[in-house]
Amino acid sequence: MEGQFQPEGQFQQNVNPYTPQQTGYQPQPGYQPQEAGQPVLQENYKNPMRKAYCRVEWKIFLYAVIVVAAQTLYAWALPKLFGESVYFAEWFTWGMMIIPMYMIAFPVLYLLIGGKKDRVKIMQHKMKFGQWIVAALMCAGICAVGMVIGTVLDTVISLLTRNSSSDAVTLQNLMLNSNPVYRILTVGILAPMVEEMIFRKFIIDRTVKYGEWMAILTSGLMFGLFHGNFSQCFFAAGLGMLFAYIYIRTGRIRYTIFLHMAVNLTTSVGSVGILQWTGYDELLSAEASGNLEAIMGDMLPKLIVLYAWLGLLACLAIAGIVLLIVAFAKKKFFLVKPPKYVAKGGFAAAWINWGMLLFIIYILFAFISNYVGF
């Protein structure tokens, strides 16, 4: 029922959020919904499922190629037009992200996706206030765990290759030395909107009919890998799976966009803004040199604010980790459970196809060039 969530076990089994009557989608031969809790395995799932995933995956690969090509053209053309000094302009750096990704590649991908063909319209439900809190805390927990894993792995690989991740260094310098208006517009607003449309709505609308958990896994892993570096890969993949789960259970892409915006605004805008305000570099220098007079003097109020903010983030992360552990232990998450479509041999059909092969080739190129270079 619209706007009503029922606890697990009380969901009406005869309500199917993916039915042709409600969505206009006509299943191909062999598709049968789960009835009365009994999964239905159909051999005929395999080929249509592989084709559907392949169509999604090669289009995202093409999106990535267009982004790289547009960024290369942008980096070559603008210095020719405006002189070499543009390399040092802040607008040039942000423009390399905004124009290729959001103004060129995304519209092309949107046209490739086409209309409503092969789409499933998921039944919509509202999230209650308490569910928003749970989701936000889980986001904090996923970010904390993912950042720790990613940072450790990134550091190990950087030591082995004797090269720092070029993406991580560039992103850190860009965030700490940029105008907050650029960060809010790009990282806080544009990135969540475009990424959720691509990695949630585009993927899930066309794959969920073959099994919701394979759609969730594919959405999250492709989103994490697309970042092209270990420092962001793990928490992005975790968030991607959580957002995919929320989208499937609510049918409202705006929910995941809002959560994605909240995460990005908190980390890339809020945390970076506090680091800029406190003069983090000066603070580190004072601590390293043992200049207690400076720390206990002018820097003390800023130091208190900084550690209070970090303490707040740590508390939110711990609460989120606890909620995730409890959810997995009880095998019960915080949103209503719809009937499922179950595909036989789902992983092979979703991941062993030429569309995913092209995507993996691009990802390998991105990771290798990021840590080793060419």
Ordered DSSP codes for 65-132: HHHHHHHHHHHHHHHHHH-GGGGG-HHHHHHHHIIIIIIIIHHHHHHHH-SSTT---PPP-PPPHHHH
pLDDT tier, 291 (very low <50, low <70, confident <90, very high otherwise): low
Number of domains in the chain: 1
Give residue 116's domain range.
Answer: 39-371
* Residue 209 included in any domain: yes
Q: What is the pLDDT of residues 45-103, one digit of tens each?
A: 568 889 999 999 999 999 999 999 999 999 999 999 988 888 888 889 899 989 999 99
The answer to whether position 4 is within a domain reads no
In tens, the pLDDT along 5-57 reads 333 333 333 444 444 434 444 444 444 444 434 344 444 556 888 999 999 99
pLDDT surpasses 90 at 169: no
Does a structural domain hold residue 20? no
* Residue 38, beta-bridge partner list: 35
pTM of the model: 0.83
| Residue 34, pLDDT score | 43
H-state helical runs in 177-211: 180-183, 191-196, 203-207
SS3 35: strand
- For residue 45, what is the DSSP state? G
Residues 173-188 have a mean pLDDT of: 83
Q: Is there a domain that residue 347 lies in?
A: yes
Residue 31 lies in a domain: no
In-domain check, residue 82: yes
pLDDT band at 284 (very low <50, low <70, confident <90, very high): low
208 CA to centre of own chain: 18
Q: How many helices (H) and strands (E) does the chain have?
A: 18, 0
Query: Domain for residue 87, yes or no?
Result: yes
Contact 228, 71 (CB under 8 A): no
Most trustworthy range by pLDDT among 136-140, 337-341, 362-366: 136-140
* Token pair belonging to 165: 């991740």
Mean pLDDT of 177-198: 91
Q: Does residue 217 lie in a domain region? A: yes
